Amino acid sequence: MLARIHKLFQIPGYALFTVTMMLQGMAISISSPFLAVYFTTRLGVSAATFGLFTAVTLISGVGLSSIIARRSDAGLNRKTLMVGAMLFNALAFAGYLFIHDFYILLVYMTIFTAIGAPAMPQLFASAREAVNASRSSDHAFANSFLRSMFSLGFIIGPLAGSILIKYFGFPGIFISTALIFLINACSLYLRAKPPATAKRAAARQPVKLHRNRSVLIPFIVLILLYSAHWLNNLNISLFIINVLDGNTQNVASVASICALLEIPLMLMLGVLSAKYSNRTLMCWGIVLGGIYYLVVLASTQLWHIIAGQVLLAFFVAVVSAIGISYIQDLLPEQPGYASTLYSNSTTIGRLAGSLVGGAAAEWAGYRHAYWFCVLLFAVALVLLALPQRSRTSAAEASSQTL
């Protein structure tokens, strides 16, 4: 494994992408575990209203990311896209410092997060291009290692966030998040270089999902999985505090434990991907993730949730590292569009999870909302078990124009 990691770092630009990805994880995780608490305690809105806020700001980026993805594979400068998106993400989180009216904040975040949304898919697409340019075939392991750096950031972020809240309050986490996005923008601007590879194919156009079952089904499966996962992200902090009588430090610890476990699991999955298909690994992840939600439904003490993080971490490792490789391998000549398809599936899933999660928490309670997660995982497993067309058929279908 060490030899494979060493080879990855010999790829021009890959080291920069790993550091950027780690900082990206830190930026998001410093504030994300505490946003529900901030909105419900400081802005005085309900959990359902916070879910609506999250849903609107998430979906705003889908359209713009899709438009950019259609052009990025034909030669649009990925470096410019990433730097610009990082800057707008910094401006977005800076808005929390001076906007305290919910509706004004909703409009502001909707605009700025939409422009910042292409950062992650273009970062993955750039890394894929760098790996392709090096003539390496270790794509799944490269994605697994890259995504593990994001999880490393998630280990540091919540712990740093809890310290910042203790000494500087909520402004401390918002300032830190904005600064990290600025650091990423500057690093990419100063050090990122286009990969030494052939010109991207301009004639290729994104697939029509409804005509390409081999891409459509994984896309739908990812939406279902992320819907359940985001419902958990939305409710788990409130579940720990309001049902298990925990505190914000417990919330941070749970988030960090999961992220810590994800790293070795992602690397392990990168190794297993050489022996098992992405589809098989996805099925394993769904089964273990479903068991985690059953654990939450039965939990009565905090340690039950902590123990369940092993199951959740495996699921997150699969859906994050293997999920994006699954889509990229189906569309090997369109890394930007494939990465954006994956990103959009997560965004749509987070939208559904936010809408349903907030409402379910109010109507059924924080505990029983998790029955919906179990149902979504069952449907996803059935869909993934359906017969699918071969990769060759997918590649042929990818040549169809819109």
Look at residue 13 and give its three-state secondary structure: coil
What pLDDT is recorded for position 392?
39
Flag whether 3 is in a domain: no
CB atoms under 10 Å from CB of 198, counted, come to: 8
CA distance 206 to 374: 33
CA distance 359 to 49: 9
For residue 162, what are the CA distances in angstroms to 203, 246, 251, 313, 331? 49, 14, 9, 21, 41
Would you say 67 and 121 are in contact if contact means Cβ atoms under 8 Å apart? no
Flag whether 127 is in a domain: yes
Q: Which of 230, 293, 273, 332 is CA-nearest to residue 141?
A: 273
Flag whether 5 is in a domain: no
Q: Which bin fits 76, alpha (ψ -120 to 50), beta or left (φ > 0)?
A: beta
What pLDDT is recorded for position 350?
80
Flag whether 141 is in a domain: yes
Q: Which bin fits 204, alpha (ψ -120 to 50), beta or left (φ > 0)?
A: beta
Encode the chain (402 residues) as per-residue pLDDT tens digits: 677 778 888 888 889 999 999 999 899 889 887 898 899 889 999 877 887 888 788 777 777 777 777 676 666 788 888 999 999 999 999 999 999 999 999 999 999 988 898 888 888 888 888 887 877 666 778 877 887 888 788 778 888 998 999 899 999 999 999 999 999 999 999 987 765 444 444 445 556 666 678 888 999 999 999 999 988 887 888 888 888 878 877 887 887 788 788 888 888 887 787 788 888 999 999 999 999 999 989 888 888 999 999 999 999 989 988 888 888 888 877 777 788 888 889 888 887 887 777 777 777 777 888 888 999 999 999 999 887 654 434 444 444 433
What pLDDT is recorded for position 208?
65
What pLDDT is recorded for position 209?
65
Produce one character per residue of 29-54: b if its CB has 16 or more CB atoms within 10 Å, e if not. Answer: bbbbbbbbbbbeeeeebebbbbbbbb
For residue 77, what are the CA distances in angstroms to 86, 100, 121, 123, 268? 15, 36, 14, 12, 33
Q: At what angle do helices 335-368 and 370-385 cross, to 10 degrees?
A: 140
Domain of residue 23, residue span: 11-193+203-397
What pLDDT is recorded for position 137?
63
| Interval 247-266: pLDDT, tens | 877 887 887 788 788 888 88
Which residue type occupies 312? L
What pLDDT is recorded for position 394?
42
Query: What residues contact 224, with CB distance under 8 A and at least 6 apart?
Result: 349, 376, 377, 379, 380, 383
- Report the Cα–Cα distance between both ends of the chain, in Å, rounded: 42
What pLDDT is recorded for position 282?
93
The CATH code of the domain that includes 143 is: 1.20.1250.20
Flag whether 126 is in a domain: yes
If residue 391 lies in a helix (H) or strand (E), which one and from where to where?
Answer: helix 391-397
Q: Which bin fits 386, alpha (ψ -120 to 50), beta or left (φ > 0)?
A: beta
CA distance 209 to 334: 14
Query: What residues contact 164, with CB distance under 8 A and at least 6 apart?
Result: 30, 172, 173, 176
Flag whether 24 is in a domain: yes
Flag whether 6 is in a domain: no
pTM over 0.85, yes/no: no
Domain total for the chain?
A: 1
Burial class of 143 by CB neighbour count within 10 A (0 to 12, 13 to 18, 19+) = buried
Q: What is the residue whose two structure tokens read 């859906």?
A: 319
Q: Which of 29, 234, 312 is CA-nearest to residue 151?
A: 29
Flag whether 279 is in a domain: yes
